[in-house]
Amino acid sequence: MKSRHEVFPSILDNDLYKFTMQHAVLQHYKDAKAVYQFTNRDKDLQLNAEAVAWLDKQIKDMANLELTPEEREYIASFDFFDESYANYLAKFRYRPEEQVQYKFDPETRDFELEITGLWHETILYEVPLLALISEAYFKFVDRDWNYDGQYEKALDKGVKLLENGCKFSEFGTRRRRDYKTQDIVVHALDEAAEKCKDAKGVFSGSSNVYLAKKYGTPAIGTVAHEFFMAISALEGVEHANGIALQRWYDTYKGALGIALTDTFTTDVFLRDFNHDLATKYAAVRQDSGDPVEFLQRMVDHYKSVDVDPKNKFIVFSDALDVPKAIKLQKAAHEAGIGASFGIGTSLTNDFTKVSNPEQKSTPMNMVIKMKYCNGQRVIKLSDDVLKHSASDDLVDELKKKLGI
């Protein structure tokens, strides 16, 4: 085995839904090519030259990562993966010198990054690259923080969620302060679950496959926007939601049955989410827009397609914290539908400044989104206009195609 990475303990230090999507892409779109682009949504939080120099080394050293034999057996133990995928991942290697391009302007401090290559190869870069960029920022730019109280803070959050009946998982890899912070958080949440055995709430696990393995908790994840975005280029945008959901079902036969609703707005999603798909999928995931409005809308939609909402649930995952999750848990109960919560940044990047504990140490707000698939421009048309991944002209063009 090659030397280990300075930051990542394993190639499995990534979110499960990157691996589940990789598996599906290998089955259905093995020859598709992709381009991804980094976007920093908050220009007040910029890297500096020292951070970029460190980041350069960390990205190059991703080539050193590979699955261990024990980790291969762990992947093969998942009910929804087969031996062929475990063997594929055992042979997988990042090739950052070929597939990752980035540049930095030291005067403006603008940082640009693109990932290019076969979709099934480049799909694993997004989460670790975002984690590295966040760590670089807090290692070299905002240093006014420390780890004091992180375990206790996460433990308290976990206990509150569990005592209020929330079923939740930790989703914080991509915008974590660093690996150590996420490790502390997952450890604390695991302890909270042990402490609250008799509570109605459930700690479902972590999206981070390595940490899930380390703490013996479930690895949680299904599908992301990029799967729908790519299929809009490969199969046509008008019914990309329906086609993507069918491809996913063909791969997983009902396992990992959580449908993501807002790649091209929920309005468009519901056109294709008919009785058949609503029956096949156990849940939907809400990731933008007003969650309370979405909740009632999904209850009404399930009823309109003759599906009992009491047998379904909604996964909420949009900028959640503990109070929001507890509020939505109560609202879902009153509306007659189940709820669960994927909580990320407010668990793995919740810090105050050492110099002024009353002031927050602000997390970066950044994404890496697919930009092209097989040479065709793809975009996300969110329920939240601030999350659109393209210019107004491209958004308007897509809206015309979709008739919205």
Structure tokens at 81: 């993966």
pLDDT band at 318 (very low <50, low <70, confident <90, very high): very high
Give kind and range of the element (H or E) at residue 235: helix 225-235
Structure tokens at 361: 């140490």
- What is the per-residue pLDDT across 270-299, written as a single tens digit (0 to 9) for each? 999 999 999 999 999 999 999 999 999 999
Domains and CATH numbers, the chain: 16-144+365-373 (3.20.140.10), 150-352 (3.20.140.10)
- What is the per-residue pLDDT across 218-240, written as a single tens digit (0 to 9) for each? 999 999 999 999 999 999 999 99
- What is the per-residue pLDDT across 160-186, written as a single tens digit (0 to 9) for each? 999 999 999 999 999 999 999 999 999
The mean of the pLDDT values for the chain is 96
401: pLDDT strictly greater than 90: no
With pLDDT > 90 as the criterion, what percentage of the chain qualifies? 92
Q: How far is CA 262 from CA 3, 383, 391, in A?
A: 41, 6, 18
* Residue 320, SS3 per DSSP: coil
With pLDDT > 70 as the criterion, what percentage of the chain qualifies? 99
Give the pLDDT mean for 118-137.
98
Strand partners, 15: 208
388: pLDDT strictly greater than 80: no
**Of 140, 139, 124, 216, residue with least CA distance to 173:** 124
3: pLDDT strictly greater than 70: no
Q: What per-residue string of b and e applies to 230-267 under the rule 16 or more CB within 10 Å gives b?
A: bbbbbbebbbbbbbbbbbbbebbeeebbbbbbbbbbbe
If you ran DSSP here, which 8-state letter would residue 373 be given?
A: E
Give the pLDDT mean for 53-66.
97
Q: How far is CA 112 from CA 52, 104, 133, 290, 373, in A?
A: 11, 7, 11, 31, 19
- What is the per-residue pLDDT across 339-376, written as a single tens digit (0 to 9) for each? 999 999 999 999 999 999 999 999 999 999 999 999 99
Q: Provide the pLDDT for residue 1.
A: 41
76: pLDDT strictly greater than 50: yes
Q: Provide the pLDDT for residue 399.
A: 83
Q: Provide the pLDDT for residue 129.
A: 98
Give the pLDDT mean for 205-224.
98
Structure tokens at 240: 């990309």
pLDDT band at 397 (very low <50, low <70, confident <90, very high): confident
- The rounded Cα 123 to chain-centroid distance in angstroms is 12
Q: Which range, of 33-47, 233-247, 344-358, 373-387, averages the lowest pLDDT?
A: 373-387
Query: Which residue did the predictor score with more confidence, 247 or 382?
Result: 247
All residues at 6 or more sequence positions from 92 whose CB lies less than 8 Å from its CB, including other chains: 11, 66, 67, 121, 124
Residue for token digits 């009910």?
79
51: pLDDT strictly greater than 90: yes
pLDDT band at 2 (very low <50, low <70, confident <90, very high): very low
